[in-house]
Structure 1
Amino acid sequence: MPETSYSESQALEEFSQRLSSYENFRSFYEIKPDAINSIIQDELDTDSQIRSFFFNQISITPPREDEAPRTLSLQYNEKTNGPQILNEYFRWTEEMYSQVLVDRASRAVDNAINRNKAKMDAHLRAHQDDIAARIEILQEEDKIRIAELEDRLEAEKQSVVASREERVRILEHAEQIASNLGIEKPTTPRDLGRQTQDRDVIYTEINSRGGLPLYFMGVDALRAEREVIEQNLEEDANTQEIRNIESQLQQLINNRTIETITNRENQTPFIEEYNNLRSQNEILSANIISPSEIDIVSAIHWAYQPNGPESPRSSLIIALSLVFGSMLGVILVFILNFIASIKKYKKQL
């Protein structure tokens, strides 16, 4: 039990002190007055009689050695049932002391449980504060990340628009060249007319590197592509990079970690210290002790009614009187003879 550690010597010493306590004996009388009513005289003060009886008639002998037994003794007259008083007083004191030890242990357990509950509440409040701080940190990090991704997304969209505008510019330039060359429909260098060997080589080199110049597509094709791009110039782009950014934004907007923590109905399963203290309280609550389980002392010899009174003993007194009377007579005769001898001696002188 917490805070209730007793050695055998400590328990025995405290029990002996209770046996030697007048207040303890007075409580015994109040609970069991019939046990010692034979010593009470109605015309005298009851408390004074009980006090006198206790201090004059009852004694407990301390042991000469630590492990030696202690003796509880009582001097009583014929009207008093001494053995019954002594045995009942011993049993009652033992029962009361056992209950005292049980009450101390129960209070110690209750105090330990209450301290653990206070610590559990403190851990729960600290955990809730940590959760609130963690959510704030996650939200702030998400806010910063969302702002960065939105900037990236806007930049990517602007890059797509710029690419489209650049394409329109290139198409316009090619369309002008095609118009100047009179190319209405898609054609090839050979279809433009008779060409020299050098020009064939040049077009062959251009074709081998990146294809024919755009103006060979012809005015009609170039104009059609340009008009379509211009019509869709401001439409939302859907590139792979844009899709990746939008996916990351959606994950941050719907942060499952924050959502899960916020939706928890009970935070205690996630607090290790809280659960350890709760387990300790369950173990402490199971520590139920009854007075019958406590063994404080054992009576080696119970008080019993002797065959005769220890005092006064008439036969012993008579025998001693005869012995001392005879001795006194012999001494007296010896003294008288001695005195007579002295007188006789003086007369002879």
Structure 2
Amino acid sequence: MDLSVNTISAHLPVQPALNDEIDLAELFRSLWAQKLLIVGVTVAAALLAGSYAFFLATPEYQVQSLLRPAAIKDLDALNGTEVYPLTPDEALRRVGTALDSYETRLEFSRAHPELFEALQTPLRSPEQAFEKFNDEAFQMLLPDPKATSLTPYVGIRLTYPEDVQGVSIVNGLVEFALQRERELIAADLQAVIKNRLDKLERKIEAARASYETSKQAKIAALLEADELKRAELQDELRALRQQLKTRRDDRIMQLNEAIRIAKSLGIAKPTTPSALGDEGRSAQGNVIRTEVNNQQIPLYFMGSEALEAERDALQQRRSDDFTEPRIAQIAKELRLLENNREVEILKQRENDDLFLKDLALWREEAARLRALDMDVSKLKLVHIDQAAVEPSKPIKPKKLLILALGIVLGAMLGVFIALIRNIVRRKPDTFAISR
């Protein structure tokens, strides 16, 4: 078995060993031999790139507008109203928000359709065409939080094809956003003024109602106090008269009793106890009699004649009021209570507004608010630091870069084709050697 194998191997042709290493010199000679092909491919690629860059590609331009805060004096008239305060930074933020708003941009496109005619296509509605343009073309410019900026700013940048009026769009959009913010501020200002006037009117009405209520309450309190005082005085008057009547009746009873005693003693004229004891004696010479007694002399010593006269007078009396000074005082006080002058003055007030506290200040504020007539349409909300101007050249296409890339790629493609041809050419030689 081993002998047969060796015999077969001896009759097989001997194949030369293949060299897998690349011969750079041979490769260079091969590429140099195909230099016309490489140059041709490179020139063709350069021509294609140049045709695209200079003739086929649609030029795109870029414009931008930068806005910075307005000066304080520009907003002083608005802030001077003391109704709608607005700082320069807040005004810039509001305008920037309006510029970034899709609704503002869409309304601007609807208001100026002539600026967007080039975007119209049969397959898209105006809104769809604008939405695509808005997503791709507009870019907001904001300060870098990591960078230090002397003043805040807001900007808008637009990248647009050659047939679109980019400068008019950017400047028109900025003016449209400013005008819209002015209209919003004017509407807000009117609303704030109206709300404050309504608030002042409510304050005035509430003050009037409160004053009327307090006035009526004061009148009622005064009348009630008068009624109470009148009732107390009348009660006191009746009590005094009853007291005087009782005192008169008691006096009459005392007098009747004293009259009976005086008659029984035979005392007709006023006398004294000592004089009554000496009636039977005859007086000799001039006698002066002095009597000292610390006890009250009984009433009947006044004599029946005097007592009867007093009793008759008391019985004929129709009123005891003159005997009590307090009754005259009560009559005076009752007379004064018939008319409460304070109540009359309160009821006779023709203009209650004159007595309302803070009413003058409220009316002054209302008059000032009604007199506010500010022309917001000329309000300078921001300072346009950079307006959009017509660009001197497009940003796309970058012709030299495209041409350079075309040359490089063309050369690479030419070398690749040459290498492929070289490999294909060597395959028949390899097969012949292997055979």
- Higher helix fraction: Structure 1 or Structure 2? 1
Q: 1:66 to 1:103 in 2, by over 3 A?
A: farther
2:407 is equivalent to residue 311 of structure 1:
no
TM-score using structure 1 length: 0.68
Question: Counterparts of 1:263-278 in structure 2 under 5 Å?
Answer: 263-265=348-350, 278=362
Aligned to 1:334: 419
Q: Secondary structure at the match of 1:304?
A: coil
Q: Distance between the aligned counterparts of 2:199 and 2:146, measured in 1?
A: 39
Residues 155 and 280 of structure 1: is their aligned pair in 2 closer, same or farther, counting only changes over 3 Å?
same
Q: Is the 8 A contact 1:109 1:284 kept in 2?
A: no
Query: Which letter does structure 2 place at the counterpart of 1:337?
Result: N
Q: Which amino acid aligns with 1:103?
A: A
184, 191, 216: which is aligned to 1:100? 184
Q: For structure 1, list consecutive stretches of 5 or more residues without a partner in the other structure.
A: 197-202
Among 87, 98, 104, which residue is 1:24 paired with? 104
Higher relative contact order (CA 8 A, sep 6+): 2
| CA–CA separation in structure 2 for the residues paired with 1:134 and 1:261 | 9
- CA distance in 2 between counterparts of 1:40 and 1:6 reads 38
After the TM superposition, which of the residue ranges 129-138 and 238-247 deviates more from structure 2? Answer: 129-138
Q: d(CA) in 2 for partners of 1:348 and 1:6?
A: 93
Alignment partner of 1:52 is 2:129: yes
Q: CA deviation at 1:90?
A: 1.3
Alignment partners' CA distance in 2, 1:340 and 1:251: 144
TM-score calculated relative to the size of structure 2: 0.57
Please state how far the C-alpha of 1:153 moved relative to its aligned partner. 0.5
Task: Give the structure 2 partner of residue 208 of structure 1.
Answer: 294
Aligned length: 335
CA distance in 2 between partners of 1:50 and 1:310 (Å): 27
Cα pair 1:161 1:233 within 8 Å, conserved = no
3-state SS of paired residue (1:158): helix
User: Cα RMSD over matched residues?
Assistant: 5.0
Alpha-carbon distance in 2 for matches of 1:6, 1:38: 33
After TM superposition, give the deviation of residue 156 of structure 1 in Å.
0.7
Q: Deviations over 1:86-123 (max 9, x none)?
A: 02211320331243144235424533543564465356
Aligned partners of 2:367 and 2:103: how far apart in 1? 37
Query: Would the aligned equivalents of 2:233 and 2:330 in 1 still touch at CA under 8 Å?
Result: yes
The answer to whether the 8 Å contact 1:183/1:218 transfers is: yes
Structure 2: tracts of 5 or more residues without a match:
1-78, 148-152, 281-289
- Which has the higher Rg, Structure 1 or Structure 2? 2
Q: Does the Cα contact within 8 Å between 2:200 and 2:366 map onto a contact in 1? A: no
Residues in 2 aligned to 1:84 and 1:16: alpha-carbon distance in whole angstroms: 18
Find the residue that maps to 1:114 and give its secondary structure: helix
| Pair 255,174 (structure 1): closer, same or farther in 2 beyond 3 Å | same
Q: Deviation per CA, 1:140-165, whole angstroms, max 9, x where unpaired?
A: 55435433431221121122233233
Q: Which residue of 1 aligns with 2:244?
A: 160
Q: Deviations over 1:141-198 (max 9, x none)?
A: 54354334312211211222332333344344444544555555444445446279xx
SS in 2 for 1:160: helix
2:244/2:320 contact within 8 Å kept? no
CA deviations 1:230-289 (Å, max 9, x no partner) are 4434253352332443344345443455445444445567777x8699599759949968
Partner of 2:160: 76
One-letter code aligned to 1:60: Q
Matched, 1:242 2:327: yes
- In structure 2, what is the equivalent of residue 37 of structure 1? 114
Query: Residues 241 and 321 of structure 2 are in contact (CA less than 8 Å); yes or no, is this contact kept in structure 1?
Result: yes
Q: C-alpha distance in 1, partners of 2:323/2:133?
A: 110
Question: Is this contact kept in 2: 1:178–1:219, CA < 8 A?
Answer: yes
